[in-house]
Structures are given as C-alpha cells and as structure tokens.
Chains A and B, each alone.
Chain A
Amino acid sequence: MEVKRIEDKDLWDRSIETSPYGTLFHKWDFLKIMEKYSGCELFTYGIYRKEELSCQFPLFVKSSLGIKMAFSPPPGLPVTDLGFAMGPVYDKLKQRRKETYINSILDDMEAEIKKIPAKFVHISTVNGFVDMRPYKWNGYDVQMHYTYAIDLNRPLEMIEEGMDGELKQLIRAAENRRLSIRPEPDFDVAFRTMRDLYGRQGEAPPIAIPAFLKDAAAAFPDNIRIDYLYDGDQIVDMAVNYRYKDRFVLWIWNAGAGLQYSGYMAWEYIKVNKAKGLCTLEIPGASLKMSSILGSKLNASLVYNFSITKKDLIGGIAEKFYRNSVKT
C-alpha cells in the first residue's frame, strides 16, 4: 500500500461517490469549507493498493501552543463523522483479507501522522464501520456513539405500526392542525429565525459558526435544505437536513421544540423520502438522553460509529487549550 496526497478534486469526489462509506462531509468542497472555518490545514490522503485507490482519508491539522494536532472531522463544526472512506472493494473481501487490508491501511496512516508529527489525534468514523481493533492495538482510546436509523425499505404501514402510540396520537393531532413544512432558501433569514426559536426555549442556536452552514448549503443546494415547520402562519420548529446517496439525515434538529413538532416533521420526512426511493432516514444524537426520545418513539434501530483518540501528555494539554479557544 502507498499513501499519496490527492489534489485532484474530480478524482477525490468520484471515488467518494463510489465508496459505501463516503458521506457528503467527505466531498471535496465540503472539506474545503471545513478547512476554511476550522482554521486547520486539510490533507486529503489516498491510500493506494497497486494502482487502485483503496481508501480516502481527509485529515485536518492544527497547531496549538506549538503542538500539532490531527482531526477528522475538525472540532467546533457540526460535523459528526468523517475519517476513513474505504473503497468498494473492502466490503466484498472475506474477513481475513479485510483484516490484512485495514491493518495495512492503518500502519500507512500512522506513518503519515508520525511525519506531521501530531501529538493528539481524534477521528470520528462513519456509521457501519465495525472493526476498531487495529486502533485499539495501536494505542487509541475507542468510544462508541449511536445514531437512530429508520429502514425506509419497509412498507409505510409497518413503519407506522412500530411507532409509539403516544407519538402516533401526537402526529394525528398535528395533522388535524394543518401544520406544514416549507423550505427556507435564504440562510441569513433562517439563522435569525433559528436564533429566535432557540432563544424562546432559553437555548443558544446549535450552530456556532452560521457562515459555515451558509457556505455548505450554497455549495450543496441539492443536498442540504433548511425547513421551517409552520403552525398556521407561525414558525414553530425548524430543521437542517441533508440527503446523500440513499440516506436522508435529520442533521440539525430541535429536540427542545417538543415531541409533537419533531415527530410530525420526522414522519413527513419518512413519507416523502420513502416515496423518493431513499433507503434510510437517520436521526443523529442517540447518545443524548433528550434526543433519544424521538428516535426511540419512532422505533428506529440503533446504528453506531466510533470516535478514536490518541494523545500523549503534551498533546492532551494542547488539545484542551485548543478546544477551549474554539466555540463548540
């Protein structure tokens, strides 16, 4: 295996499109937006097996107190998972070859990280990538995180049948009140509304750097959408969603608006995206008690990803200093 920096946007994006682990966040323009707003330097690595691009790995590097740290994704932005995007070959391999493959990739990446040299490394992997043993054996601390996922391949009646009775009642009542979901194309307006909406709940908006989301929405207009939920003429809830490949993700949503509103929005998204032929609707934040109510009432399955961290004493101090200096 050989590690090379990839500077060709088309090559990068084409490979992310074909990778089962490639997410919207892995796309070249999205990475560049993350680089801009995180203040980190982006390294777009490709790991080659002979001539074949086997794995892509975006890494963000930042210095704090003169100490280098490496992240994927960078902190301070509402991006939950990134890390390795394995090529399509990986899933087709038998377990034995998979293990050889991933061990080799990790060894190559470790060598690159040592060249930086990063004293603190933090990576959040994408959902569905299971084998974290090579990281553990290389001294990483591994933590599990959960996301709710609803399988949209099932008949709609079956999805509805599995939902919690109270939620179904709330959704029916909401339907009778003629709630409606409408997109907000102007991000500046949306962010002002978000501030008001969260302010009414006594909370700060969940996006510390609005311009980051504005740029991302502008770069991916077909993928990212901001929706308002209207009750009559009044905006009562909102959500930032993205769609990529066969997944729809309730990316930034407002657990504090109440179960009726969030449940209604989720149910509408289930119906619309199922009709469009998407396979999965995801609701992040299942590790948080408050956010887990919606997912569990929808009877969603739990899928998981991992965050892996390696630091020495100096790296740990630099990381703390840096995280305190960025708004999260």
Chain B
Amino acid sequence: MPVELIDDPARWDGFIDESADGTLFHKWEFLRILEKYTGYQLFRYGVYRGEDLISVIPVFYTKSIGLKLIYSPPPTSSVNIPYLGFATSPLFGRLGGFEREECWSQIVKEFRDEVMKISPNYMTIGLVPGIRDVRPFLRNDCDADLMYTYIIDLKPPLISIWEGIDRYCRKDIRAAAKYPLVMRRSYDAYKFVELMREGLKKLGGTFYDRQSPAYIEEILRAFPDNVKLFFLYDGDALIGANLVCGFKKRCIGWMGNTTTDNGFNANDYMLWEIIKAAKQEGYESLENAGADEKRLNFAKTKFNPDLVPCFNITKKDIIYKTAKYANRKLEKLVRF
C-alpha cells in the first residue's frame, strides 16, 4: 500500500466529502488555515490500495527545542480542534470484516512507516469518534488513550429530545424564554473571543488567550455555510455566544457556552435554541464536546447526550520522554 502526498485540493475535498470519517476539519482550506495559524508544516498523506485512494490523513510537523513533533490535529491550545486523524473511503466501509481489518492494519502500518521517515520524537493523532479499532496502533508500538465525547441524537422528534432533558434544565429554559432574549448570527470573531476570554479568565491561559481572533474570523469567512457564530442578546446586552460547526449530518457545538450571571441560565437556553435550529437544518446529531472535563459534566449531561468513546493515539520516544521529564523538573525548580 503506497503512501503519497496529495496536492490536488479537489481530489482531497472530494474524498473528505464522501468519507464517513471526513469532518470539516479535514477540508483542504480548513487545513490551510490551521497551517497558517500554527506555523507548522502540513503534510496531506494518502494511502492507496492498488489504484484506489483508501485513506487520507493530514499531519502537522514542527520542531520545538530540537524535538520533532507530529500532530493531527495540532495542540488544542493553539487551534481547539477536537480530532482529525484518518478518514477512510466508502470502499473501505464496504469491505468484509477480514478484509477491512487487514486493510486497516495496513493503512496504519504504512502510514507509521512513512511518518517514521521524519524520525519524530513525539506523535499524537486524535481519531474521530467512529474509529474504535485501535489494535493496529497498539501493534505498532503506539499508546491509545481512551477519551469521550457527548453526542445528542437529533433523529427523534423534537418533543422526545425535550422530554429527555433534565427537568430542572427544562424549567430553566422556560424561565429564560420569558426574558427578551434574541439569538442572532454574527461574524464578529473579536467580540466572541473577548467574551470567551472574560468568561474563562478564572481558568488562566486558554486557547482564547493564546490564539488570535483572526483564526476564527478566517474560518467564519471560509466556511459560511458550515461554521456559524451565534450571539445571544438580552435586550441590547450580549450575554452568550456559541460557535457551531456543521458538516454532512453532524453538527458540533464547537466553542462557546461561557457562564453568565443574569438571573437565568443563558447557556441552556442557547443550547436548546441550537438543538432546534440544527434539527430544522437536517442535522442528525449535535456533539457537545468536553466529556473528559469533570467540571463540565454536570452541565453537559442536562441534555441527556450519549457518551461516546474516542481515542487519542500517541507515540513517544525516549528522547521526548526524557525532555518532558527534565522540563517538568525545571518548571518545579523555577516555581520553587
């Protein structure tokens, strides 16, 4: 199975559009924006089965303090992308069990062999939630960290989704609806980032402090049909914001949900409005990421989502481990 770099945007995007694992984050232009705002070098790999392009994976490469690092996606602190990694073709999905497993093993092995030519000290791949067979990675000396995400099924009738919501949350949403609240689409990434920084300032340096608002602005401009920023107003006052990313039948509540103190729960009201809008637009699921953050679970489970496992693959060599260890020790010394 040869691995080759793909330099044809139309071919790449056509593949992502057809792939069951292809996300908006995989699209050619999205990757270009990630490359621009991280400064990392982007490689778009394709893995072939005979003449057929069977899988693709975008990879970001950088060097830091002499260490070679491979990411897919780049670190959350710089781009806030939940996952990226492999996308497979419809042909892969049609293969029988044995052929599919053999093919998946080969894809992983060939990719690993290719990427090892760079001799990375560290590699991390965040797999999309549908990919659960991590055996080939384990057989190739990688570690697989179990992660989770929350996904709300939008296929049932709206009334069933409403009834699934925690009753106190429903009460809060009904109470909020009595206020003069309006949800409006916005393109003001700077205002959004400012709101998020303010809302999350207790957590210290977050993605919103590290990345320029121009990153979000460029994504909003590049994908106006997919990425939508909504502001929630109470009269004239901006009280909440949510950045929603929709692609194919899946929608992700990507960023937003700052806490507000207005005597009512603006976050829950806004999420319910987004659920209604997403369902109306034909999306079948709404992902509400953050299941691995214990502090967020109580709020995120109000909407009765499914808990869905996903994996983060890592490979670290001894140099990386030693450097990390030394760095931790050094930080301790500096703090002391």
- Residue B59 interfacial (CB < 8 Å): no
Q: How near does chain B come to A259, taking the closest CB pair, in angstroms?
A: 10
Say which one of B8-16, B41-49, B129-137, B206-214 lies at the interface with A: B129-137
A164 x B98 contact (CB < 8 A)? yes
The answer to whether A136 and B301 touch (CB under 8 A), given A95-B306, A144-B134, is no
- Size band of the interface chain B makes with A: 20 to 34
Contact of A137 among B96, B99, B100, B294 (CB under 8 A): B294
User: Which residues of A are found within 8 Å of B134, using beta-carbon distances?
Assistant: 144
Q: Does A131 contact B (CB under 8 A)?
A: yes
A264-300 residues at the B interface, CB under 8 angstroms = 286-287, 289, 292-293, 295-300
Taken residue by residue from 249 to 274, chain A's Cβ proximity to chain B (1 for < 8 Å, 0 otherwise) reads as 00000000000000000000000000
Q: Which of B96, B98, B144, B297 has the most CB of A within 10 A?
A: B98
A132 with B146, Cβ < 8 A, contacts A95-B301, A95-B304 known = yes
Instruction: Quote the shortest CB–CB distance from B113 to chain A (angstroms).
Output: 18
Q: Are B304 and A96 in contact (CB under 8 A)?
A: yes
Q: In the bound complex, how far is the Cα of B99 from the Cα of A287, in angstroms?
A: 17
| Alpha-carbon distance between A287 and B139 when the two chains are bound, in angstroms | 10
Those of B120-177 within 8 Å (CB) of chain A: 132-135, 138-139, 144, 146, 148, 150, 164, 166
CB <8 Å contact, A130 and B307 = yes
Residue of A nearest to B102 (CB): A296
Nearest B residue to A144, CB-CB: B146
* B7 contact set on A, CB distance < 8 A: none
> B139 near A289 (CB under 8 angstroms)?
yes
Closest chain B residue to A136, Cβ basis:
B146
B301 engages A295 (CB within 8 Å): no
Q: Are B98 and A296 in contact (CB under 8 A)?
A: yes
Give the distance to chain B from A218, nearest Cβ to Cβ, in Å.
Answer: 36
Is the C-beta of B50 less than 8 angstroms from some C-beta in chain A?
Answer: no
Give the CA-CA distance A295 to B97 in the complex, in Å: 8
Within 58-100 of B, Cβ neighbours of A (below 8 Å) are at 96-100
Which of B98, B144, B309 touches A299 (beta carbons < 8 Å)? Answer: B98
For residue A181, CB closer than 8 A to chain B, the reply is no
- Say whether B302 faces chain A, with CB atoms less than 8 Å apart: yes
A94 near B96 with CB under 8 A, answer no
The complex places the Cα of A96 from the Cα of B306 at a distance, in Å, of 10
A-contact bits for B196-225, CB 8 A (1 contact / 0 none): 000000000000000000000000000000
In the assembled complex, B22 has its CB within 8 A of some CB on chain A: no
Smallest distance from the beta carbon of B301 to chain A beta carbons, Å?
A: 4
Contacts A298-B97, A302-B132: A144 and B144 contacting too (C-beta < 8 A)?
Answer: yes
The residues of B that contact A298 with a CB separation of less than 8 Å are: 97
Interface membership of B246, Cβ < 8 A: no
Give the Cβ gap from B334 to chain A, nearest Cβ, in Å: 26
- Asked whether any CB of chain A lies closer than 8 Å to the CB of B194, the reply is no
Q: Does B336 contact A (CB under 8 A)?
A: no
Query: Is the Cβ of A292 less than 8 Å from the Cβ of B304?
Result: no
Interface residue from B135, B150, B291 paired with A146 (Cβ < 8 Å): B135
A162 to B138, alpha carbons, bound, how many Å? 27
List chain A residues, Cβ under 8 A from B292: 133
Q: Is A17 an interface residue (CB 8 A)?
A: no
- Across-interface contacts of A286 in B (CB, < 8 A): 135
B146 touches A94 (CB 8 A): no
Q: Roughly how many angstroms separate A287 CA and B101 CA in the complex, as a whole number?
A: 12
0/1 string, A79-101, CB within 8 A of B gives 1: 00000000000000011100100
Query: Do B306 and A164 touch across chains, with their CB atoms under 8 A apart?
Result: no
* Beta-carbon contact of B148 and A133 below 8 Å: yes
B297 CB contacts on chain A under 8 angstroms: 99
Q: Is the CB of A297 within 8 A of B97?
A: yes
Q: Chain B residues near A163 (CB, 8 Å)? A: 96
Taken together as a complex, chains A and B put the C-alpha atoms of A302 and B97 apart, in Å, by 10
A300 to chain B, nearest CB (A): 6
A96-B166 contact, Cβ under 8 Å, with A299-B96, A299-B97 = yes
Cβ–Cβ < 8 Å partners of A99 in chain B: 297, 301
The residue of chain B having its C-beta at the shortest distance from the C-beta of A137 within the complex is: B294
User: Cβ of B138: which chain A residues have Cβ within 8 Å of it?
Assistant: 287
Is residue A170 within 8 Å, beta carbon to beta carbon, of the partner chain? no
**B166/A300 in contact, CB under 8 A:** no
Q: Mark A122-161, 1 if CB is under 8 A from B, else 0.
A: 0000000011110011000010101000000000000000
Taking the complex as formed, is A304 at the interface, i.e. its CB lies under 8 A from any CB of chain B? yes
In the complex, what residues of A have CB within 8 A of residue B100's CB? 296
For A142, list chain B residues within 8 Å (CB). Answer: 146
The one of A95, A293, A304 that contacts B307, using a Cβ cutoff of 8 Å = A95
CA distance A293 to B96 in the complex (A): 12
A131 to chain B, nearest CB (A): 6
> Known: A94-B304, A130-B309. Is A300-B135 also a contact (CB below 8 A)?
no
- Residue from the set A144, A286, A292, A297 with the largest chain B CB neighbour count within 10 Å: A144
B-binding residues in A (CB < 8 A) = 94-96, 99, 130-133, 136-137, 142, 144, 146, 162-164, 167, 286-287, 289, 292-293, 295-300, 302, 304, 306
Inter-chain pairs besides A130-B307, A164-B98, 15 sampled, C-beta below 8 Å? A95-B150, A95-B304, A96-B301, A99-B297, A99-B301, A133-B148, A136-B146, A144-B134, A164-B96, A287-B135, A287-B138, A296-B97, A297-B98, A299-B97, A302-B133
Closest 7 CB pairs between A and B?
A: A299-B97, A96-B301, A296-B98, A296-B97, A296-B101, A297-B98, A95-B301
